[in-house]
Structure formats: C-alpha cells, structure tokens
Amino acid sequence: MVDVLYSLVDVTQRFDQIILNPLYICNLDMTTMTMKSCFEFIYSIDNKVLDRICKTILHRIHHQVNELTVEQHSMERVLHTINYPALHSLSFIDFQEDVLLKYLTDNTALRKLLTEQITSLQIDVMDKKTSPSLPRTLSTIFAFVLSLCKRLIKLSFCHLYHHLTNCTFDLSSTNCLSSTLTTLEITVKTFDDCLYLLDERLNCLSTLKIHVDEIAFTSGTIDNTKILPKLKHFTFWSDPRTLVYDNQILPLFRRMINLEELIFFLSIIRIDSNYIDGIQLYDDILIYMRRLKKFVFNIDTCVIKKNIGIALSSNEDIQRSFIGREYGPVGTHVETFSGENKGRGHMYSLPHEFNGGMFDNVHCLMMTDIRPFEHYFFKVISQSFPLLKRLYIFNNEPQKEKQQPITFIKFSHLILLYLTSAHVDYAKQFLFNKHCHLPCLLDLYIRYESLAVVTNNFTNDGTRRTCDKLTSLHVKEPFVPPENFHQYFPLL
C-alpha cells in the first residue's frame, strides 16, 4: 500500500479518486514486508517513501483511517504527524520488546490513543537477540496493555511469530486484568500460563486462540476445575508431545460447558493405554459441551507399551469409533512398530474437500514412515500439493529404487525443507538440481554429515544452484565452516 501511495498519488486526478477512496485507505498499512526466510519477515518502510506520505498524504486521509499498521522505525512519525479520529484498530509489527515497552510507558500521544480509542490491538515482537528475559518482558507488556487500554475488545499478542516468541507469567506478581476484552490470540510458554489466563482475570473473554510451547505437569497453584461459562470459541495448539493429556488437558476442556467452537492440535504420549478414538473424544470431551457447533481436531497419539499384554486398536477399530457420531469427515492412521513395543495413532478432521486427489489448500506437509519414500512418490506429492510451502521428512531408511529412471520434479512454491531426521538419500534427491528444482527454497534443515556428503564438502556444482539461494541454514550439531563454505552459501 505504501508504494502505491508514494508512486501514484498526485499523478492524475483519476488515480487520486481511486487510491484515496475511503474503502481503500480505511485500512492503512505503513509497512513493506520482505521475506528473509520461512519464519523471518522484515517489515520496514523506505525513508523517502515515509517522508512523502507524512508530509503530503496523511493530512488528506487521516480522518478516514480506521485501522493502522506500523513498525517501530516509522511509528513515532506516523502517529505524531496527525490525529486519527476514526482509528480503532492498531497493529505493532516487528518491534523489539524493549523499544515497545519504552513507547508504551513514555509516549504520551500513544498512551492517549490506546486509552481512549483503540478497541483492537495486534502486537508482534520479532526479537533477533532472543533474550532469555524476553518471555518475562512480554508478560509485563501484556499486563501494561490490559491496564492501559480501557476500551480494548480484541488483542492479538505474539501470535504471528509463535515459533520465536512466547509469553510467560510470574504467577505471584503479574496482574493481568480486563473487564472489556472478549477475544485473545496469544502464544505462551507453559500450560500454567494458559490456566492463568482462564483464572477469571479476563472475565468477559469469549474467544481464546492459544499456542502453548510446552505442556507438562502444572504447579498446582491454579484451580483447573472452575467452570468457564462465557467462553464460546477455543483454539488450542501445542507441537511437542505431552504426557498430561488425561489429567491436565481433559479437565480444562470439561470446564467449557457453553463452548460453541473447539479446535485443537495435540501430540500425546500414553503409557500402557490405548490410542485416543472417537468414543473417547465423545465420552471425555463432547458430552460436556452440549452447545458445540464446530469441532476440528488433529490428535497424534504415541503409545508406549510397558505391559506387552495390552492390545492396541487397529486403524479399522478407530474408524468405526467415529460411526454414528456427528464428527464430520475424519481421517485416521495407525502404525505399529514391531519389536519396539510402541505404536502411533493419528486421527484428524477433514474440514476441506480434496477433489480428485488434489490438495490445493495444503501449504505444510509432514511425512514419516518406517519404509523408504521412493523418488516416484515425491513426483506424486509435487503434483498433488501444487502450493506446498513447507515439507518435513522423517525417514531414516535409505531409498531402494536408486537404479530406476529418475523423472524431474519441481516444487514451485517450497520455501522450507526439513531433512534433519532423514536419510542422506533424500538430501541427494532434493538438492541436486538435475533431480529436483526448488526455485523458492530459503530454509534448509539438515545434518552436517548429510550436507557435506551431498555437496562433496561444498564443491559439487550439481547442488550449488539450490544452495546458493538459501538464506537460512539450520544444522543441529556444531561445526567449523570450511574455507569455501560461504562461497557455497553466499546469502547466509
């Protein structure tokens, strides 16, 4: 938007009528986004562009701006140039937490705006330093925002970069209170933090979307039994596996007696117990939610059998457990690891229809198996997932059909490739440009040994074309880069 304002305003009267139309400029985004890697974006604005907009354009549109997005380097000029009488929604993008805290405490104009006008606020910190104190500082900002914004209804807090930033609360001292907030999107560090936010501090909260970094045994200081009658929409997401589904997460769900929408994504470990199935979901959760209208889930259960006498359900058993209940379309998959006394059961909602084997809406795919993935299979994947952006491969089995004729594969939109838990054969398949073309690849996760083998210690021209575009390389083990390393990866 800023480029359009800079380039086309005052060019012709017709352009001005189109660009300065209230329907177009009511949502004013004063940032330009550059993607550095899959999870790192740079929001900025050129000084020349900023100068022209502040001096010649803002005074013509300020009274029509309802929503405003700013980054830290332009915020002061944009907000101090002029008043925005119709502004009710504000977004702070790509701020460092110490800079943001200083603005909130010291900037009188900003404090007045937040106190008197703002009903919707988005705050996303992108701290490159990853300071150990960051989660605590964020909790201070969170509490300060709630106390300052007297009219706040909706808050999105560190939700955009949930993989990098999270908030944790000092349960003994942090005081987060709001009598107006109805919708909250947030990333927190622990399950205790989640319980803290649902402990009657936000007494009008009806919608909570929360990403929890780790779910372990709680401190026990927060009551996980109080009914939550006002909560209507709950989205709960956590990536690492947890052992406390039965004694921590289920009690939380049962408190939500008036819930109308439940969405959750969980990876669970159970010991000497069966996979979660449709019957358990109904008996343990849904029976407590009589008003539920929408239920979307993705549950990956890893069962460890210490008692070898326990019989695990088959895939057919789990599929049958959903029959006759109003779950909608459900996918299931069961995998037994013979000799390891463990198994894996995966069940998930199918909210989209995939016609003819085409998965047009899928941007992220995780692949895992105890059998190898052959080259032809990735050909099918590239055709069936045309907009795939992130691909994670977990397979340490070598490919068997290496002598078969290899057809060229292209993943036109792939940005991230995860091979850290994959055999070197998959690195060979994807990184050699004669086998595979990855024109948009920016992020590569890989073991150093595999990388050195495939690139022949960073001398192989066959992999150079793919590697010289990378802007982010993630190698788990420490290594000393050889002399030609940075020539091979010039953008790192």
Q: List pLDDT tens digits, range 474-489.
A: 998 899 999 899 999 9
In the predicted structure, residue 405 carries a pLDDT above the cut 70: no
**Beta pairing class for 416-418 and 261-271:** unpaired
Tell me, what's the pLDDT at 131?
55
Q: Which of 47-51, 117-121, 129-133, 261-265 has the lowest mean pLDDT?
A: 129-133
Place of tokens 């109308």: 260
In the predicted structure, residue 423 carries a pLDDT above the cut 90: yes
Q: How many helices (H) and strands (E) does the chain have?
A: 18, 21
pLDDT digits (tens, 9 = 90+) for 332-375: 999 887 777 889 999 999 876 666 667 888 999 999 888 899 99
Comparing CA positions, the residue from 201, 120, 122 lying closest to residue 154 is 120
Here the tokens at position 328 are 């909608």
Rounded CA-CA distance 413/430 in Å is 14
In the predicted structure, residue 319 carries a pLDDT above the cut 70: yes
Apex 273 CA angle, 268 and 279, nearest 5: 80
DSSP 175: -
In the predicted structure, residue 135 carries a pLDDT above the cut 80: no
Mean pLDDT of 109-134: 82
**Beta pairing class for 32-37 and 40-44:** antiparallel
Tell me, what's the pLDDT at 38?
84
Residues 6+ apart with CB under 8 A from 362: 385, 387, 388
Tell me, what's the pLDDT at 321?
95
Q: Which of 112-126, 130-144, 160-174, 406-420 has the lowest mean pLDDT?
A: 160-174
Q: What's the full length of the chain, in residues?
A: 492
Mean pLDDT of 448-459: 95
Please state the pTM of the whole predicted model: 0.88
Tell me, what's the pLDDT at 97?
87
Mean pLDDT of 246-260: 97
Q: What percent of the chain has pLDDT over 90?
A: 62
Mean pLDDT of 299-310: 88
Contact criterion met (CB below 8 Å) for 389 and 413: yes
For residue 44, the SS3 value is strand
CB atoms within 10 A of CB 118: 23
Here the tokens at position 235 are 């989205």
H helices present in 129-212, as ranges: 134-148, 191-197
In the predicted structure, residue 162 carries a pLDDT above the cut 60: no
